[in-house]
Amino acid sequence: MEFLDLSMNRLNGEILLSFSNLNFLNHFNASCNNLTGQIPTTTQLQSFENLSCMGNHLRGPPLSKT
């Protein structure tokens, strides 16, 4: 699986550090949910080709592409 789209699913809570194990994903969409908390900056989120987390209540520095 390279694409994971969890958008508009009414998800809540924080993005877990276990996302660092998803090294097979290239595209991740979690937009328009109710996610909160700090964006984990030391995880696989940094290397996704396409990442969308808009429409949530996340905070932290912008993610850079590596």
For residue range 1-11, what is the model confidence (pLDDT) as tens digits?
A: 899 999 999 99
The total of other beta-carbon atoms located within 10 Å of residue 56's CB is 19
Task: Give 45 or 31, the one with higher predicted confidence.
Answer: 31
The ranges assigned to domains in the chain are 3-59
Using pLDDT thresholds of 50, 70 and 90, give the confidence band for residue 39: confident
Q: What is the mean pLDDT of residues 13-41?
A: 87
**In the predicted structure, residue 46 carries a pLDDT above the cut 80:** no
Which of 65, 61, 16 is closest to 41 using CA atoms? 61
On whether the CB atoms of residues 41 and 66 are closer than 8 A, the answer is no
